[in-house]
A = this chain, B = another copy of it.
Amino acid sequence: MSAEQQDIVAPMENASISTGQAEQIVDPWNVQGAVVDGKQVGIDYDRLIAAFGTQPIDNAVLERLERLTGRKPHAFLRRGVFFSHRELNRILDRFEQKKPFYLYTGRGPSSDSMHLGHMIPFIFCQYLQEVFDCPLVIQLTDDEKFLFKPNLKLEECIKFSRQNARDIIACGFIPEKTFIFSNLLHVGGAFYQNVVRISRCITYSASKSTFGFVDSDNVGKSHFVSVQAAPSFSNTFPEIFGTRSDIPCLIPCAIDQDPYFRLTRDVAHKLKYPKPALIHAKFFPALQGPGTKMSASVDSSAIFMTDTQAQIKNKINRHAYSGGGATMELHKEHGGRPEDDIPFQYLSFFLDNDEEISEIEKTYRAGTLSTGELKKRCIEVLQKFVADFQARKAAVTEEILDQYMTPRSMGVDLSAK
């Protein structure tokens, strides 16, 4: 832990960058691109890197990852979906040295409706777990959803946790090395002890300025960061790591979750725990276009993991924002704009074949590939992804669910330093 970089701990305000007309807003509860000349533009991720003080994922990182794992980096890395990190190299060092580490990610279960955007961190974690062969803990923040959504009942939040866990399991994790837990059911013992340790290190001022709370917010909100921070420390999971508090984790998450982990990294220093490393994803855009993210509460913005093949086709054809020409003639004449085109962007997330993506981009931009043809390919790829997912989910029984949700040993060599 020597020669650690000092995090730039920017207050949330710094993430809202003035762009003349309306600011870009990125915090755990709001994601909205800037408005320039009355038009919503995409999130400026380079500015987020600067404002949050994170590191871009550059070619050197990708090359090292490929060298160490012997596999081409995941499409999410090659395409810049995971675009930023904090101390990823420290985790790669440990992988190289065969020292233990683990992955930690989470989900806020506010409904039974998981959509494509929710899959991004889990698809990526599945890849990381496969190449690293390491434990993965997945926190379902049903307590947070209850605290932040006044209309939800506690029992509903617990039910959503269990329902969401089935979707998560369908992403194909290693059963023996994956622990999925509901905070409302699991917080206690060593976990609660770390929550209390963490909460002693975070002032109300720090929580307030990081997340933008006001004094009329409930006391659970400003305290909740302690609960989201706790799984970053290995002694929170005695069944997996015993009393070892020095095993670091890597947290793949969307960039809006970074404020939680900036505070967590501060706390780690105070508690003499290793700081969690992070790898940050961009947001999965809504059907309506770039500048916001897919939302479970706006039905027409999202492709849900429960959608039928016909619904997927219909949503892409009817709602997906196109970067193509207004008419077939104009498209042939001027070409399309893949960077604005939602079907193209979805393909860049879900179509692994780099040559095909490159060909699509080139021909679409040239106007030789039509919007209809691009949408057709997008529909095929998403239909297959969702159908495969649904088949895997159908195989997740209550017993399998219970296994994933039971704290247990994962065969980590606890003698390895």
Give chain A's interface residue range (CB within 8 Å of chain B): 35 or more
Known pairs A146-B200, A192-B188; A215 contacts B219 (CB<8 A)? no
Q: How long is the Cα–Cα vector from A193 to B185 in the complex, in angstroms?
A: 8
**Most B C-beta atoms less than 10 A away, residue of A146, A187, A213, A220:** A220
Is the Cβ of B187 less than 8 Å from the Cβ of A204? no
A132-187 with Cβ < 8 A to chain B: 143, 146-147, 150, 154, 183-187
Closest residue on chain B to residue A263 by CB atoms: B219
B199 touches A147 (CB 8 A): yes
Please state if B216 and A226 are interface contacts (CB–CB under 8 Å). no
Contact of B199 with A223 in the complex, beta carbons under 8 Å: yes
Number of copies of this protein chain within its complex: 2
Q: Is the interface of A mostly helix, strand, loop or mixed?
A: helix
CA of A299 to CA of B109 in the docked complex: distance in angstroms? 52
Q: Which residues of A contact B (CB under 8 A)?
A: 143, 146-147, 150, 154, 183-189, 191-193, 196-197, 199-205, 207-208, 213, 215-220, 222-223, 225-226
- Given A154-B193, A204-B213, A205-B216, 17 more pairs with CB closer than 8 A: A143-B192, A143-B196, A146-B196, A146-B200, A154-B197, A185-B189, A186-B188, A188-B188, A196-B220, A200-B220, A201-B218, A203-B217, A203-B219, A204-B216, A219-B225, A219-B226, A220-B223
Closest 7 pairs between A and B when the two form their complex, measured CB to CB: A188-B188, A199-B220, A223-B223, A205-B215, A219-B223, A143-B196, A204-B215
